[in-house]
Structure 1
Amino acid sequence: MSWFTGPPSWGELERVLNGKPRRAGMPLTDPPIDGGDSPAFSRKRGVYLPPDLPLDQRADSHVPYAELHAHSGYSFLDGASTPEELVEEAVRLGLRAIALTDHDGLYGVVRFAEAAKELDMRTVFGAELSLGAHPESIARTDEPDPPGPHLLVLARGTEGYRRLSRRLAAAHLAGGEKGKPRYDYDALTEAAGGHWHILTGCRKGHVRQALSEGGPEAAAEALADLVDRFGCDRVSIELTHHGHPLDDERNAALAELAPRFGVKVVATTAAHFAEPSRRRLAMALGAIRARHSLDEAAGWLAPLGGSHLRSGAEMARLFSHRPEVVTAAAELAEQCAFGLELIAPQLPPFDVPDGHTEDSWLRHLAMTGARERYGPPERAPRAYAQIEHELEVIARLQFPGYFLVVHDITRFCRENGILCQGRGSAANSAVCYALGVTAVDPVANELLFERFLSPERDGPPDIDIDIESDLREKVIQYVYDRYGRDYAAQVANVITYRGRSAVRDMARALGFSQGQQDAWSKQISRWNGLADSPDVEDIPEQVIELALQVSNMPRHMGIHSGGMVICDRPIADVCPVEWARMENRSVLQWDKDDCAAIGLVKFDLLGLGMLSALHYAVDLVAEHKGIEVDLAKLDLSEPAVYGMLQRADSVGVFQVESRAQMATLPRLKPRIFYDLVVEVALIRPGPIQGGSVHPYIRRRNGLDPVTYEHPSMEPALRKTLGVPLFQEQLMQLAVDCAGFTAAEADQLRRAMGSKRSTERMRRLRGRFYDGMRERHGITGEVADRIYEKLEAFANFGFPESHALSFASLVFYSSWFKLHHPAAFCAALLRAQPMGFYSPQSLVADARRHGVTVHGPDVNASLAHATLENQGLEVRLGLGSVRHIGDELAERLVDERNTRGPFASLLDLTARIQLSVPQTEALATAGALGCFSITRREALWAAGAAATQRPDRLPGVGSSSHIPALPGMSELELAAADVWATGISPDSYPTQFLREYLDALGVTPADKLLDIPDGTRVLIAGAVTHRQRPGTAGGVTFLNLEDETGMVNVLCTPGVWARHRRVAQTAPAMLIRGQLQNATGAVTVVAERIGRIQLAVGARSRDFR
């Protein structure tokens, strides 16, 4: 394995970790990474790697020119190239500088700046402001051509940037909702202060618009207003040439205005894409923005034929009568250009008690917590020594404020009864453990602090806090209140075009019908790319061509799952803030990678559904069974819990409920808590494709001996039986084998995982080999094998600290499933959406464990699922009923608690205003059965009851007479339940086909373990999941469920291709295949797939 080629391939990983020799000519290519939920896998977009731009492909740049007006994909449907592509093309064309001027924001400036820095291109930052024609501004996607002028602003240096960012934020917040900025033109004038440069802009600019509508004099008035507001030395007339017949005439009229007002004239391309090949995509995006087809939008879409970047020489030819306007653009860019790194912010000072500094206050809190965790220093000298060491490093790196903020957030959670825990490498820190941020003792577990924080670190540590998802909003609002909305904001998430959305939107742009758009998009699987995919057959070539071009382009901005930034200055000085669609949430215009690149300190407040479920379970057991459960005092060695897991009885259990985990549990046979730690880490891309799973399981079960390449590896690998699983082990191996310090070991880990650390990697590799030779005399093949194992796991190893944090939740959830299955089921239903399984599957599993589940009832249900009969039975909540929702369900329950049960359907509708669809949904769900009427009778009466209210005249509405109607059959009741709530409480769809399936010879799921391994079987069931991990080599996994249990089905690429349409879309299947159950876990390797029809609906959850 070569050490300078970046991450190894999966095949190379497996070869190294199994000690196999390299095959001759084995390629060294990057792996198709799919990190799943592994925190070891970086979901960052990574550092920008510039393309190779040979000199002979670069345009002649003898004419100085800079592009001052360019839109990227971050103009959201008004730009057809990424910021990086604009920079790359600017370099190829030999431009002196390039500006990014996206609409109403600075969304793409960090990516733009990163690419420009790598390619040595000067940058100008600006924005095109949509001023609007009236105070109630219109979103740019609400009308084909929104009214009102645009103002193109270029920032002159960092102060200009700060002022522009602030005004953008003010406009977005003043607009009151996402996508509708409202600018105060006078405030813009005042804000400029000589730090902006204004271009007259494109056809929507004040001057161009006035020229088109009122002629030269109107244009002169508009220019006079700009000059009066911003000064003649801060305004330039912008000329563009897109090949339109009137371009020359318009440019001449505009240029003639310049001497009258003492302003300069510059040429731009007003670029909306980098290269001419993106023209049609730009037109298609414009049509999508206006919600029209290209043909319908042809009348108003601006001509974009020439809206691509051009070289100085080409611009000089276009403006041959005014060559000075081309060079003037380069001169203006020189005045405005600066690097974005100059705006780097810091954390705000933390408010500490009088007499303390941040350092001393952190020390006080850590030592106070240490006495609670460890007792007095003489009882735990190692722990206190570790805390002292960590505090010294934290102080040296000037990070105490960061730890104080995290402690403050977790303190708020504890004081407000909100379950939370720090995750990831933060659990390597004894200070975090003492502060109560994490629940894992790093000293007892021998975790390396330097995996979390080392003296050489160039940025703040990364502490993720898991918070119970249903209460996370309280924590987010606390951060806003504590630090001020001007100084705190959530991080954005860029929603990009993927296969289905790309096909749908491009088909719409090309004028295909809604039905055709939906049909084509649905046949694209979530796993295949569009290029050379079998999914694209029958889709017109022009749709696929545009869809390929738009893939991975920004579609819109969302909110990151948990990232918040806190800043020492108003955040709007660094990045504009705007309203999110969620109520009372303000969000940055940058994503987490942008924030990290600039230096904004991010805190991840992540919602974890299992923490909510555990909280609900504790409360339900206390309320209905009178048992107080303290999670921290559970016996982590209880054999019955491990026995349940060894049977793969883990539906609903945190982290070990997936089909891969269920297949591994009977093989691993967890017996102690550390087995759960390993189980969490084992089913991850690195161990799976690196070949660690089978060797570890065989060693754990005594089938293979535990061996090491060299005795010096034993201390690091002893816990995992000589098989490397954790990133901390990589670092410990460097310490033990080569004499590295822990900080040096972390440098090695980082360098191995980086494609840009070639020179540093060369030095560290030499140091590692020297250390092995000097300390232990390790040389030759043994040295190579040790180093290769380290390199193999550098990218994909899992942090042991993270696995320890999650293993606790595995045990807690398993304990509740074993001892309180009804409470566990109700808790999971309350915490939805979460986990791997649908509520239908969770209820079916609970029934198989002896739990009785009742449907919703207006006189018995709460808003959410609850318990009955001393906590042994589950009652579904009213909020689960279609059209009802949480708010109305709470009102129903409050009314019942205040004024007593509802006496009749008319009493219900008199006291609670319900629409006809809401009343009918309650009737369909059986929630009106307490009134001694059948579901059909309730449905008949629902319309009349909903329209007979006190505010209406008697007799107005439907007839309230209920005729005698027959009851529903069991099948009809199940179908009604699933339609109304998504759950059939006392049945499963396949049971109504059991007689037919038995006649076909179908084996029920619960009988498959009794059949000899290798037997060909016929199985059937509803599809609960389809999953194709990126690590599986094209294999797709299906999960079928019948009334008796679940079956994992493996589909090879060939089988999937032969049955693709059925396999991809059928809600229920009949599958013939070969049974594999020798290890105690059932898998059927599919050979033939067919469709079966269920009278009761079922929907699958499809995962990567």
Structure 2
Amino acid sequence: MGHRSLLFEINGLGNRLWKGEKKMGFVHLHLHTEFSLLDGACRIKELAAYAKKLGQDALAITDHGNMFGTIDFYSACKAEGIKPIIGCEVYVAPRTRFDKVHRIDTSPNHLVLLCKNETGYRNLIKLVSAGYIEGFYSRPRIDHNLLQEHSEGLIALSACLAGEIPRALTAGDYGRAKQIAEFYRDTMGPDNYFIELQDHGIKEQRAILPQLVKLAQQVGVGLVATNDVHYIRREDSKTQKVLLCIQTGKTLDEELAIEFPTQEFYLKSEEEMQSLFGSFEGAIENTARIAERCNLEFEFGVTKLPHFEPPNGEDNKEFFLRLCHDGLKKYYGEQPDPKILDRFHYEIDVIDSMGFVDYYLIVYDFVRYAKEHGIPVGPGRGSGAGSIIAYCIGITGIDPIKYNLLFERFLNPERVSMPDFDIDFCYERRPEVLDYVIRKYGADHVAQIVTFGTLAARGAIRDVGRVMGMPYDVVDKIAKQVPIHPGITITIDSALKKSPELKAMADSDPQVRELIDTARKLEGMPRNTSTHAAGVVITDKPVTDYVPLSKNDESIVTQYTMNTIADLGLLKMDFLGLRNLTVISDAERGVRRFEPEFAINKIPLDDKETFDMLSQGQSDGVFQFESAGMRKMLSRMKPDCLEDLIAVLSLYRPGPAQFIDAFIENRIHPERITYRDERLRHILDVTYGVIVYQEQVMQIFRELAGYSYGRADVVRRAISKKKAGVMEQERIKFIEGAVANGLSERDAEAIFNDMSSFASYAFNKSHAAAYSLVSYQTAYLKCHYPREYMAALLNSVIYSTDKVISYIGECRKQHIQVLPPDINRSQIGFTVSDGSIRFGLLAVKKVGKGVIERIVEEREANGAFESLYNFVERMHNRELNKAAILAFIQCGAFDSFEENRRQMAESYERIVESVNSSKRSNINGQINLFETVTGTEKFSYPELEEYTTDELMAMERQTTGLYISSHPLDRFDKQLKGRRIDQISEIQQEESSYCDGAHAELGAIVASVKRIQTKGGALMAFAELEDRTGSIEAVVFPNVYATVGNRLAEGAAVLAGGSISVKEEEDKKLLCDRITLLAELSTDKLFLKFPSRGAEQVAAAQRMIVAHPGSSQVVFYFADEKKYLKLPESLKVQIESEFVKELSEAFGQSNVVIQ
């Protein structure tokens, strides 16, 4: 029987199912998008557009094991007028999803599942989620039992060569294949299970086609033709291979054991599929029939909030109103201003009419919980700070009336979308709030949210270059031509326009052109998943009724991103951990030890001393104001009120930075500010005539052209996105409204043009206002309680050595002494002690927090430790090991004992053995009842001199990561004086002005050095350099290394110069072009005086100088010109007494000066 007649018999079933239906075209039902991570190369939007071009009416998504791209795919298809079919190619465990034995369970089978309806979608969610949460072993896996539980509403296809049936047939086990087919037929129902036919030019596929046809006939199921689509066009096959190489770590030249041996895995046209499967009657038609049966629609914009149950059982709206009125009275008194009352009632009406009472109460509840349990909560974040109701019920902590913040920027009745409260909590105790939410709503109703790492421009170039087998240094040079600007995404296309060097490389070298073109195709594709730092979804029903879940490490996360969650109407929250809230809380607690009534929320917000400090640029350690650029801006601007700080935060960003000069100039000369209409004055006076905030744009639309705030926000958004059509429509409407309100058409158009240019850069004032309050609080604490604040700041970075070094440097600037660790005085963290800051024991390496807690407990319970022996004896059996004891000795924590560090270091092991022996004797009953001598008295230490200063410093650094008692650079202050030395902490800052290629000169200590031999046999080195503020890796190339050789050793003090290297996701490096040991650098200069440049003595002096090379600068003085000439570096001299004597005899003693 031929294929055609055989399939006619098989598809009698299809004819019965779809009798009378019009024959339809081919539909792709097996397709992998970019969310089949580093495997699928189909960008979703491009895919949908190309499918439309091919005349496709419907299209399916079946990514490997996940549903990450479901909603993006759905929306893209809808936008192109194509019917989206939602599915997944799941992995089926060979045994059960709980079996995870190497080699037995590592190769799961493939199965394609498609959703017919909402029931099928929910079942697919359950299956895919369980695959990650329960069945993950190399890949997310389901099993037969799980499929039997969740088969309703789904259509299954037998998949590719990795499917169970093709694998059985390829192995020659037809009986097993038939058994599997019968299982799926019975599980899914004969109408919902299809045998897939594929032909990608692979001999194994063609070999089993007849058997697949026979199998379908025998078990009574239909056939369906598919192409296993992994890329859009045939020519994209190489792009997909590059992706696979990135995933596997291979290069294109290596032999890859992958399943794509041909270039046929693309989105084929109906004609191409007909040519392959047209003779298999029904296989093409069934694709359209399946498509017609898949009718899943998503509901967007309809909120699905959990219901909040008030604690006292009252109606939630009544409870909400009571909270609002209590807050109104608390913050605005018994008789608020009528304008405040109007705003208050307006907000309540909007919140109620839009159905967000529960939303406000849910947020209120967990914020209340945090505050009642002493967990610091921020004053607000984002546009939510613009709501007076949020302020009244305690969600936010900044008065929106006082700072002219707008409610409609947060919740807009004319733009229906979920509001978005982002809440900052103390970063250490944020998990407690999450735990509370999980307890309240149930673990199955709460999940964290996924985020995707993508192939950024530089990263894509580096990945593709490695895959192409190009040398690292060549690829690195190309990648570095892509500029880096903090906060701005630079694409390869924009880099080609901005970087002439990159364009020249691409134009002149075909291999570089291929690299750039391939990287461009991959740029922006998702590379990996991770857990969003703050995002959480809370649902009224179990999360898996709405959203598929996956697992990142131990966290259960959604497979949909934050924006998708919000689009689906689900409640997503940002629970952010903000380190500075912890710092403020710790500092506040420290101040209360001597000022019991102190409260950070009661400090004056107009403190002159605080603003004076900021105006001098002294903002190290101040939230948001630490960077060099921000310090410079503060110094120029001289802020004197909170409104100024709000403006600083809003302007100091890549876009609006161009308006900083105008802002500062207007602030200094307010008399020069002019307004096209006086009604602009009260809107722009706080920003000196410059449009800085989005709220100002909205106010201008409202007051000049009669827009509602809601409408103004909608238009502001459109203008900020530069939507040309919308802008032109609104230009006409604005001018009409403004003219009707008394403006001239010319002024109205000019104002609209100003707003259009500013709207893209205008910032959310609500967010800036809330964060500027936190900034001000930290500045106030630093100004008035510097010791308590710096101690809290040091505790917040105790595990980051570089930041501890930097902040200790700031303490020195403020003349705050930082005392070394002391076993009898130090607490767990940094503390204020007698006007100084005492090192915390937790900063000592190799000592765990638990041990330190027990040390402090023992000390507080039984008094100070009297000696090393006494310490070891009292801490016996408390998990104190020898390494911890030695670390305490070396860092100086035992310096208050009589013995020096060398004596203790040479004795501690014997003390431990002595104590252990004594304890064992006690246990064994061997105590001498007549022995009254204590262990401390009977132990004798060897007579040893203390370590040298260098040795002590080295040990301190080894055990704490920094130098405590002194710094090795102290002795080289003379050599460094007068030089422009850069600070490493300034270089390492994210918003640093030290961009790629910038020059830097460092005075530093070599913390470590690694020497390597190049392919050419030359020696070079990688050295970690450390100054008083931080550390940086230095690359010392062979030509530079040759000048210092083995003298570049650990502990050496050096003067190193070179260029800064900046790479994505890496710390900056110094590429040295010179390096000199400070010990060899003389601080003296030799001055020689001559009557004129032409004097005979000048040539003689040069000859003598060449004969005495060294490290001291030589300067000639010409009396007739009264000018100095500094000789080049190559003519430095060694100043010795004999040489000075020779010079004096030759030119006269009065003409030779050493300074």
Normalising by the smaller structure, the TM-score range is 0.7 to 0.9
1:168 correspondence with 2:128: yes
Alignment CA distance shift 1:752-1:505 (3 Å): closer
Match of 2:1013 in 1: none
Matches within 5 A, 1:529-608: 547-581=519-553, 585-608=555-578
Mind listing any 5+ residue stretches in structure 2 that lack a counterpart?
1-22, 921-938, 1006-1025, 1031-1039, 1041-1052, 1060-1070, 1080-1155
Alpha-carbon distance in structure 2 between the residues aligned to 1:887 and 1:102 = 47
Alpha-carbon distance in structure 2 between the residues aligned to 1:178 and 1:655 = 43
Matches within 5 A, 1:1006-1085: 1018-1026=980-988
Match of 1:9 in 2: none
Match of 1:41 in 2: none
> Which of 51, 54, 57 is the matching residue for 1:96?
57
Q: Does the 8 Å CA contact 2:984/2:1029 hold for their aligned counterparts?
A: no
Q: What amino acid sits opposite 2:963 in the alignment?
A: S
Q: Does the 8 Å CA contact 2:806/2:1029 hold for their aligned counterparts?
A: no
Alignment CA distance shift 1:1039-1:69 (3 Å): farther
Q: What amino acid sits opposite 1:748 in the alignment?
A: V
Q: Does the 8 Å CA contact 1:1020/1:1042 hold for their aligned counterparts?
A: no
1:452 correspondence with 2:414: no
TM-score normalized by the length of structure 1: 0.79
Matches within 5 A, 1:365-514: 365-376=323-334, 378-420=335-377, 421-498=379-456, 501-502=459-460, 506=464
Q: What amino acid sits opposite 1:202 in the alignment?
A: C
> Which of 114, 117, 133 is the matching residue for 1:157?
117
Greater shift in the superposed pair: 331-340 or 973-982: 973-982
Alpha-carbon distance in structure 1 between the residues aligned to 2:689 and 2:41 = 52
Instruction: Report the CA distance between 1:827 and its aligned residue.
Output: 0.8
Alpha-carbon distance in structure 1 between the residues aligned to 2:303 and 2:221 = 36
Q: Does the 8 Å CA contact 2:1002/2:1056 hold for their aligned counterparts?
A: no
> Which of 266, 273, 285 is the matching residue for 1:327?
285
Q: What amino acid sits opposite 1:383 in the alignment?
A: I
> Which of 672, 696, 715 is the matching residue for 1:729?
696
Match of 1:311 in 2: 269
Instruction: Report the CA distance between 1:819 and its aligned residue.
Output: 2.1
C-alpha distance after superposition, 1:691-747 (max 9, x if no partner): 2x1222122223752211222211211222222111111111112211222222222
Instruction: Report the CA distance between 1:319 and its aligned residue.
Output: 2.7
C-alpha distance after superposition, 1:602-647 (max 9, x if no partner): 2222111111100011112234x45542112212222211111111
Q: What amino acid sits opposite 1:596 in the alignment?
A: A
Instruction: Report the CA distance between 1:951 and its aligned residue.
Output: 12
Alignment CA distance shift 1:478-1:242 (3 Å): same
Alpha-carbon distance in structure 1 between the residues aligned to 2:997 and 2:751 = 32
Matches within 5 A, 1:141-156: 146-156=106-116
Match of 1:742 in 2: 709
Q: What is the SS of the residue equivalent to 2:228? A: coil
C-alpha distance after superposition, 1:193-248 (max 9, x if no partner): 2x111111122211112112233332222212211222221111112222212332
Q: What is the SS of the residue equivalent to 1:765? A: helix
Q: What amino acid sits opposite 2:355 in the alignment?
A: Q
Match of 1:1102 in 2: none
> Which of 57, 73, 79 is the matching residue for 1:118?
79
Alpha-carbon distance in structure 1 between the residues aligned to 2:1076 and 2:192 = 71
1:997 correspondence with 2:976: yes
C-alpha distance after superposition, 1:1032-1064 (max 9, x if no partner): 99997989899999999xxxxxxxxxx9xxxxx
Match of 2:772 in 1: 807
C-alpha distance after superposition, 1:460-492 (max 9, x if no partner): 222211112111111111111111122121221
TM-score normalized by the length of structure 2: 0.76
> Which of 815, 827, 838 is the matching residue for 1:875?
838
Instruction: Report the CA distance between 1:302 and its aligned residue.
Output: 5.1
Greater shift in the superposed pair: 331-340 or 891-900: 891-900
Match of 2:756 in 1: 791
Match of 1:1101 in 2: none
1:66 correspondence with 2:9: no
Greater shift in the superposed pair: 449-458 or 839-848: 449-458
Instruction: Report the CA distance between 1:861 and its aligned residue.
Output: 3.6
Alpha-carbon distance in structure 2 between the residues aligned to 1:813 and 1:848 = 17
Alpha-carbon distance in structure 1 between the residues aligned to 2:965 and 2:791 = 15
> Which of 624, 635, 638 is the matching residue for 1:655?
624
Q: What is the SS of the residue equivalent to 1:713? A: helix
> Which of 603, 618, 625 is the matching residue for 1:634?
603
Match of 1:839 in 2: 804
Q: What is the SS of the residue equivalent to 2:986? A: strand
Q: What is the SS of the residue equivalent to 1:426? A: helix
Q: What is the SS of the residue equivalent to 1:1024? A: helix
Alignment CA distance shift 1:220-1:121 (3 Å): same
C-alpha distance after superposition, 1:902-940 (max 9, x if no partner): 744855885344677766655654456566676677777
Match of 1:775 in 2: 741
Alignment CA distance shift 1:284-1:393 (3 Å): same
Alignment CA distance shift 1:934-1:503 (3 Å): farther
Over the aligned positions, Cα root-mean-square deviation in angstroms equals: 4.4
Alpha-carbon distance in structure 1 between the residues aligned to 2:105 and 2:274 = 32
Alignment CA distance shift 1:929-1:288 (3 Å): farther
Alignment CA distance shift 1:438-1:487 (3 Å): same
Q: Does the 8 Å CA contact 1:1022/1:1068 hold for their aligned counterparts?
A: no
C-alpha distance after superposition, 1:559-594 (max 9, x if no partner): 212121212221111111233325xx4211111122
Match of 1:15 in 2: none
Q: What amino acid sits opposite 2:364 in the alignment?
A: H
Aligned residues: 972
Alpha-carbon distance in structure 1 between the residues aligned to 2:597 and 2:70 = 54
Instruction: Report the CA distance between 1:875 and its aligned residue.
Output: 2.7
Q: Does the 8 Å CA contact 1:158/1:342 hold for their aligned counterparts?
A: no
1:133 correspondence with 2:99: no
Alignment CA distance shift 1:198-1:514 (3 Å): farther
Instruction: Report the CA distance between 1:988 and its aligned residue.
Output: 5.6
Alignment CA distance shift 1:961-1:174 (3 Å): farther
> Which of 703, 709, 714 is the matching residue for 2:681?
714
Greater shift in the superposed pair: 1028-1037 or 238-247: 1028-1037
Instruction: Report the CA distance between 1:300 and its aligned residue.
Output: 5.4
Match of 1:609 in 2: 579
Q: Does the 8 Å CA contact 1:178/1:579 hold for their aligned counterparts?
A: no
Alpha-carbon distance in structure 2 between the residues aligned to 1:417 and 1:1028 = 32
Match of 1:253 in 2: 211
Instruction: Report the CA distance between 1:432 and its aligned residue.
Output: 1.0
Greater shift in the superposed pair: 297-306 or 458-467: 297-306
Q: Does the 8 Å CA contact 1:839/1:982 hold for their aligned counterparts?
A: no
Alpha-carbon distance in structure 2 between the residues aligned to 1:166 and 1:991 = 65
Q: What is the SS of the residue equivalent to 2:444? A: coil
Q: What amino acid sits opposite 1:715 in the alignment?
A: H
Alignment CA distance shift 1:918-1:546 (3 Å): farther
Alpha-carbon distance in structure 1 between the residues aligned to 2:56 and 2:814 = 70
> Which of 709, 722, 732 is the matching residue for 1:766?
732
Q: What is the SS of the residue equivalent to 2:621? A: coil
Instruction: Report the CA distance between 1:953 and its aligned residue.
Output: 13
Identity of aligned residues (%): 29
Instruction: Report the CA distance between 1:783 and its aligned residue.
Output: 1.9
Match of 1:189 in 2: 148
Q: What amino acid sits opposite 2:342 in the alignment?
A: A
Q: Larger radius of gyration, structure 1 or 2?
A: 2
Alpha-carbon distance in structure 2 between the residues aligned to 1:187 and 1:809 = 51
